[in-house]
Amino acid sequence: MKVTFWLLDINYEVKDHSPEVWLWGIEEEGRRILLVDRRFRPYFYLVLKEGAESEAVKGEIDRMRQDLPLIENLEPASMKFFGRPVQAIRVTCGDPDLLARYADKLGKLTGVEASLEGDIRFSMRYLIDNGIMPCGWHEVEAEEVTDDSVKQIEKVCIVDSPPRPVERPQPPSFRILGFTLTPYGRMGTPKPDSDPVVIISAATNEGDEVQFAAEGENDAPLIENFNEFVRGFDPDIIVGYGSNQGHWPYLLARAGKHDIKLSVDRAGGEPHTSVYGHVSVTGRANIDLYDFADEFQDVKVKTLENIADFLGVMKLGDRTIIEDVDVPSYWEEKNRRPILLKFGRENLRSIMGVADAALDFAFQLSSLVGLPVDHIGTAAAGFRVDWFLIRQAHGVGELIPGRREQPYFPYEGGLVLTPKPGMHENVAALDFKSMYPSIMIAKNISPDTYVPPQEDVPPSKVNVAPEVGHRFRKEPPGFYKEVLTRLIRTRDEVRKRMRTLEPGSFEYRLLDARQRAVKVITNATYGYAGWLGARWYLKPVAEATAAWGRETIRNTMEMARQIGLEVIYGDTDSIFIVYDPEKVEALSKKVQEEIGLEMKPDKIYTRILFTEAKKRYCGLLPDGRLDIVGLEVIRGDWANAAKGVQETVLGILLRERSPEKAAEFVRGYVSGLRERKVPYRDLIIWKTLTKPIDEYKVKAAHVEAAKILKERGWGLTIGDKVGFVITKGSGKLYEKAKPYNFATYDDIDLDYYVENQVKPAALRILEQFGVTENDLVPN
């Protein structure tokens, strides 16, 4: 019987050294289905040394068979490795969990140059070899069977033939569950060992909203209730915020305390932490929206409430925020408990709203890269590119390189010009359309086209990178060139189709998510090529790309000058020039003809202000908005007081061109600040802990604040943002830093905020106009 399904999750089981692949999906008719494939075997490749005989190596392997009894098959294979044809033996081994060990052992044989692909996880192997994409539709021949095990699924089938992808206009309708916990700890950050969960809030995309409350401090019943609720609703997708590192592990630990099995998956098991640190709920897609918070670059402190506020899902002004440590005071008081429950519901609504904004992208990224949607969020950018490339390589018979330990040597990157300081009228920022990918395509830069220095190749056959001298064959097209060309073409096609659709329509949204996913992978490829962890790492690739980039921007500036355009600034792939439409048009044309890359105006500024610093400027756009780049205003580690003042100063200067008025404003603000009129929250400074507290070499304000938090029971880890204020006292700054929630307005060192926050931020700009520190002293 033919089954059409949308792939939600995949896992595998090993029974008596024999693997089964389980594909969890949703049928077109909406039934939830499990497809079991018992026909697939894991394997790896042994690449033979030059001149080594396949039969001889087979003989070597045969002599080891008693040690490696699960070898099922040895098959010669003609493959490519970095574009070079190689002879290999494909070794099939029955048990996927032993594959890596077998691959290592056989890699040491005399006739073997390399053992490859033994590190590809079995479920990924299955997807790749069959061309199956998570979050996509497939057809398969399968027989329905009756399944009497504990699986929570409507239909179980045994697969007869490999599934193949098919096109369908839209995904099935999902059942989505959102959840959040309220843990209760009287000693700082709650610890699952001692502190119960007092509320579990859950909602479904069908409009149900429930809250389970603990009985006193006994959370056993609410865990049971949650268990039941999840099973009853049977979600396809589970969303949370911070659920991978926070809620799931906490809930599991609490369930463990009570000997309750948290059986919320579809296979009768429990959630478990798996690759890249995601929590896997078998048969469902567990998605932690926090893993997609990076998509919202404008939000500096990535809390759920800030992201929900940014998206307009739930405004900060309209909601309650209760810190973990304050939970007891709400929970214990009868009349305050409803506020705590309300806080839970608000978080839940935020989660559902953020899910609405982020899930399309997650699905598209998953189906582009080929990683299951529950892994894709936790996989770092480098691994996303890695898996994308693995798919592409497999498609063209390329062997997948392993990761290798290697030393790090830095190389020179993009070119940054010193700006012409001051105010400029009518300036255009021109930039190259995906410069690095375009260069990699144009120069055929790739690990497989690289010609090492000792190799003799006629100069006419290679492109030679400026400054660094690396050579790349012009033909045939390299791996990166092929891949990037396809990506760019795909994105162009998607965007073309979008233009025929109503923005806001279902398909438009889907395609927009698609093109964003393609863009993310395209833009990460250059950085990936220079990343030590990349399977296709080759320093000369990244180094040559950057060198050609510098040459490109230098040549472009020279052309601009020849045409009579004044260059004010430039950074990596952009130049800022005084705008003259005709000359700019001429420049684009010339660049296209002589360099072969596409360059166009990105933004036109009515007026733009540079200081002498690179990477920091502010422009006024025709619609009246300020475009602020690099300055304190858009940094997350300055007090709002300073950021706000700087933004206002920029506004006055660029819109009204009045340094006097700006200085007057600053004086007024400083007076107000000294009179304690600035809200406390505008004095908080946020900084990230980038390493464990005891690894810091110098004493720093945010680290000292973090230590205080830790003493009081806060659990802080790498990546956490610490909010602190500077309090009165003597000595070093770090001695005066206190967590914002452990200080009051009376403790604040207002002088610090005037002298080290507001004034420097304002003067950074106002100095350009001859305004001095004295001019900012209130009369």
Partner DNA sequence: GCCTGATTTCTACCA
Partner DNA sequence: ACTGGTAGAAATCAGGCG
User: Which residues of this chain interact with DNA, rule CB under 7 A?
Assistant: 276, 300, 380-383, 410-414, 416, 431, 523-524, 526-528, 530-533, 542, 546, 571-574, 611, 613-616, 629-630, 634-637, 686-691, 696-703, 721, 732-734, 756, 760, 764
Minimum gap (Å) between residue 615 Cβ and DNA: 4
Rounded to a whole number, what is the largest CA-CA distance in the chain? Answer: 94
On whether the CB atoms of residues 412 and 546 are closer than 8 A, the answer is yes
For residue 300, what is the DSSP state? S
Q: How far is the CB of 613 from DNA (least distance, A)?
A: 4
Q: For the CB of residue 256, give the shortest distance to DNA in the complex, in Å.
A: 26
Q: Using the minimum distance from each CB to DNA, give the nearer residue, 51 or 410.
A: 410
Q: Considering the complex, state which of residue 238 and residue 553 has its C-beta at the smaller distance from DNA.
A: 553
Report the alpha-carbon distance of residue 325 to residue 530 in Å, rounded: 43
**Cβ closer to DNA: 82 or 734?**
734
DSSP secondary structure string, 600-625?
EEEEEEEEEEE-SSTT-EEEE-TTS-
Q: How far is the CB of 754 from DNA (least distance, A)?
A: 12
Residue 545: its H or E element: helix 539-563
3-state helix, strand, coil in the chain (%, to 5): 40, 25, 35
Cα dist from 717 to 637, 689, 707, 711, whole Å: 18, 7, 11, 14
Across the beta sheet with 471-473, the strand order is 450-451, 471-473, 462-464
The residue (of 137 and 686) whose beta carbon lies closer to DNA is 686
Name the minimum Å distance from CB 241 to DNA: 20
Query: Measured between alpha carbons, how far is 205 from 349 in angstroms, rounded to an integer?
Result: 10
Question: CB-based contacts of 659: which residues, under 8 Å, 6+ apart?
Answer: 653, 766, 769, 770, 771
Indicate the residue among 1 and 698 with the shorter CB distance to DNA. 698
CB of 595 to DNA, least distance (A): 16
Q: Please give the C-alpha separations between residue 93 and each of 101, 354, 402, in angstroms, as whole numbers.
A: 11, 44, 19
Report the residue number, 332 or 412, with the smaller CB distance to DNA.
Answer: 412
Residue 704 CB, nearest distance to DNA (Å)? 8
Shortest approach of DNA to residue 396 CB, angstroms?
23
What span, in angstroms and rounded, lies between the C-alpha atoms of 284 and 275?
16
Give the whole-angstrom CA distance, residue 186 versus residue 739: 18
State the Cα–Cα distance between residues 359 and 292, nearest whole angstrom: 9
* Residue 72 near residue 94, CB atoms below 8 Å: yes
CB of 673 to DNA, least distance (A): 16
Q: Least distance (Å) from DNA to the CB of residue 446? A: 16
Q: Which is nearer to DNA, 311 or 693 (CB)?
A: 693
Note whether 148 and 158 are within 8 A (CB). Answer: no
CB nearer DNA, residue 225 or residue 306: 306
Pick the closer one to DNA by CB: 213 or 599: 599
Residue 611 has which token pair? 């200081």
Indicate the residue among 266 and 707 with the shorter CB distance to DNA: 707
- Within 10 Å of residue 151's Cβ, how many Cβ atoms? 18
CA 70 to chain CA centroid, nearest Å: 39
Strand ordering across the sheet containing 43-48: 71-81, 84-93, 43-48, 112-116
Q: Which two tokens stand for residue 489?
A: 């073409």
**Min separation Cβ 441 and DNA, Å:** 17
* Contact in structure between 439 and 597 (CB atoms under 8 Å): yes
Q: Choose between 235 and 370: whose C-beta lies nearer to DNA.
A: 370
Residue closer to DNA, measured from CB, 255 or 662: 662
CB 662 within 8 A of CB 766: yes
Q: Cβ of residue 520: shortest distance to DNA, in angstroms?
A: 8
Candidates 532, 445, 453; CA nearest to 482 is 445
Question: Whole-number minimum distance, CB 552 to DNA, in Å?
Answer: 12
Residue 540 token pair: 């000369």
The DSSP secondary structure of 415-470, one letter per residue, reads -BPPP--EEEEEEEEEEETTHHHHHHHHTT--TTTEE-TTS---GGGEEE-TTT--
Taking the least distance from each CB to DNA, the nearer of 260 and 542 is 542
Distance CA 199, CA 217 (A): 10
128 secondary structure, DSSP code: H
Residue with Cβ nearer DNA (305 or 573): 573
Q: How far apart are CB 383 and DNA at their closest, in Å?
A: 6
Rg (CA), the chain: 30
Give CA separation, 102 vs 68, 110, 116, 125, 740, in Å. Answer: 7, 15, 11, 16, 55
**Least CB distance from residue 386 to DNA, whole Å?**
8
Nearer to DNA, 51 or 408 (CB): 408
**Which has the closest alpha carbon to 568: 423, 678, 708, 431?**
423
